[in-house]
Structure 1
Amino acid sequence: MVCNCSHSAKQDESGAAKLPESESDSLILSDDPNHPANLICELCKNFYVNGWVTGTGGGVSIRDGDKVFIAPSGVQKERMLPENIFVMSLNSKKYLREPISLKPSSCTPLFLASYDLRGSGGCIHTHSQNAVMCTLLFDDVFEISHVEQIKAIPRITEAGYLNYNDKLVIPIIENTNFEQDLEDPLKEIIKKYPGTTAVLVRRHGIYVWGETVWKAKIYNEAIDYLLELAVKMKLHGIPTVK
């Protein structure tokens, strides 16, 4: 639910409301750099520098127990502030905190799918050009094998990580006009591919999740490396699967 009431709130140049101290603000204001609201801001800046979340695209979410922290829609990622963060109860799916004048991210249902279906602790969505290009070069799934960086990706259905000679498979779903409409296709593909920690969206980007947000970050970085390498291999006529 988006608040449409008239409030007096200061805004920065990005249009993000800066809220006064309140009970709900206690959910996102902390001196701890590892607090989810602070981490989301740090990661958004990091991903902006990498070119993965240009404009206001992409997003990050972190789960802490029953609380889900979500970057908002429409705020430039490199200027994200803890005051901009939405907080939701995972159990009730109701917002515990809604920043004034900001809209919830349309990625929210997709983030929740990773929490509900995989018990993940963090989910990252980027508009990486490497991800988009691979959805144009591969059909139903992205595949790559015999690359050292594959060893950073977990097996999911069993303990440990993939080996050098294993094949990494990431499913691809079709894009929609409205991001929230990706919820059902994403849920279906997660169930169909129980060993995946990511889903590519054709001509759009990628969703990556992990046991913690730091694991999600590692997986996202490793996968983007492999996506970029696969694009170069395709350009040189080299098969991505040996």
Structure 2
Amino acid sequence: MDSDYPKDHPRNVIPELCRLYYSNGWMPGSGGSLSIKYGEEIYITPSGVQKERIQSEDLFVQTSDGEDISGPSCTKGLRKSQCSPVFLNIYRLKKPGAVFHLHSKSAVLVSLMNNGNTLHLSNLQMIKGIPKWTTGGNHKFTDDVTIPIIDNTHTEDGLIDGMVKAMNDYPDTCAVLVRGHGIYAWGHTWEQTKLVCESYDYLFDVMLQLRAAGVQEIR
């Protein structure tokens, strides 16, 4: 922990979460990216690095308009996350406190197992950990929760049009799956975003195990 910053400052929280998500298998290789809004500043992980080794000084800081405020020393040769344009788009449209992009294996698998543009979940207790973004409050376990799925593109910024359509079509969602790629998720705070990611990963894993057991319908 960097003692120069409060415990809940992004410069402490993001490296801690990167190590946790690497150990979970959600940020393998150099995959995935995290961002947290702190006041009027957005802190974002660098691109193409081993996330479990990120230090507090490695983060990029920018405004919600994409203006760079600060970054790591040029001697480190780090680049801002390629997810930055997608993150900024979500911050503008949804006004969250944090946006995470993870390469969770269960998120990838459920996106590939569904040929349509949505994934539906119901009658699972951990659904109660998922907020209803527009209407407020959290889902009941009996609710039909819809997660939009968009197709992957060769670059992260190529996802923006699909993300915008998904968020407009499903305004209550706080996550979008990218087929064969991973998940983008957000919350009002980084703590809520962490809860959303963990709840969805659990739900996806349950779905996969049920499918493996031959149960095709869990609604």
TM-score by length of 2: 0.94
CA-CA distance at 1:154 after TM superposition: 0.9
CA-CA distance at 1:112 after TM superposition: 1.0
Is the Cα–Cα contact under 8 Å of residues 86 and 98 in structure 1 kept in the other structure?
yes
Match of 1:132 in 2: 108
Q: What is the identity percentage for the equivalent residue pairs of Structure 1 and Structure 2?
A: 39
Q: How many residues align?
A: 214
CA-CA distance at 1:71 after TM superposition: 0.3
CA-based RMSD of the aligned residues comes to 1.4
Is the Cα–Cα contact under 8 Å of residues 153 and 219 in structure 1 kept in the other structure?
yes
Is the Cα–Cα contact under 8 Å of residues 143 and 241 in structure 1 kept in the other structure?
no
After TM superposition, which residue ranges in structure 1, 4 or more long, deviate above 6 angstroms? none
Provide the rounded CA distance (Å) in 2 between the counterparts of 1:78 and 1:237: 36
Q: What is the SS of the residue equivalent to 1:166?
A: coil
Where do 5+ consecutive residues of structure 2 fail to align? none
CA-CA distance at 1:240 after TM superposition: 4.0
Provide the rounded CA distance (Å) in 2 between the counterparts of 1:241 and 1:160: 23
Match of 1:105 in 2: 81
Match of 1:118 in 2: 94
Q: What is the SS of the residue equivalent to 2:173?
A: coil
CA-CA distance at 1:98 after TM superposition: 2.5
Q: Give the residue type in structure 2 aligned to 1:219.
A: V
Match of 2:17 in 1: 43
Provide the rounded CA distance (Å) in 2 between the counterparts of 1:216 and 1:78: 19
- For residue 144 of structure 2, the aligned residue among 143, 167, 173 is 167
1:145-200 CA distance string (max 9 Å, x none): 10111111112222321111111110000001111211121122111110100000
1:189-228 CA distance string (max 9 Å, x none): 1111101000000000000000001100000000000011
Distance 1:215 1:115, change over 3 A: same
Q: Give the residue type in structure 2 aligned to 1:95.
A: D
Q: What is the SS of the residue equivalent to 1:170?
A: strand
Provide the rounded CA distance (Å) in 1 between the counterparts of 2:89 and 2:217: 30
Provide the rounded CA distance (Å) in 1 between the counterparts of 2:107 and 2:58: 27
What does residue range 1-242 of structure 1 map to in structure 2 within 5 Å? 30-91=4-65, 93-99=66-72, 100=74, 101-138=77-114, 139-242=116-219
1:58-107 CA distance string (max 9 Å, x none): 0100011221100000221111101110000114x210112221111110
Q: What is the SS of the residue equivalent to 1:131?
A: helix
Where do 5+ consecutive residues of structure 1 fail to align? 1-27
Provide the rounded CA distance (Å) in 1 between the counterparts of 2:136 and 2:117: 26
CA-CA distance at 1:241 after TM superposition: 3.8
Provide the rounded CA distance (Å) in 1 between the counterparts of 2:159 and 2:201: 21
Provide the rounded CA distance (Å) in 2 between the counterparts of 1:121 and 1:29: 23
CA-CA distance at 1:46 after TM superposition: 0.7
Provide the rounded CA distance (Å) in 2 between the counterparts of 1:192 and 1:102: 36
CA-CA distance at 1:237 after TM superposition: 2.4
Provide the rounded CA distance (Å) in 2 between the counterparts of 1:240 and 1:129: 21
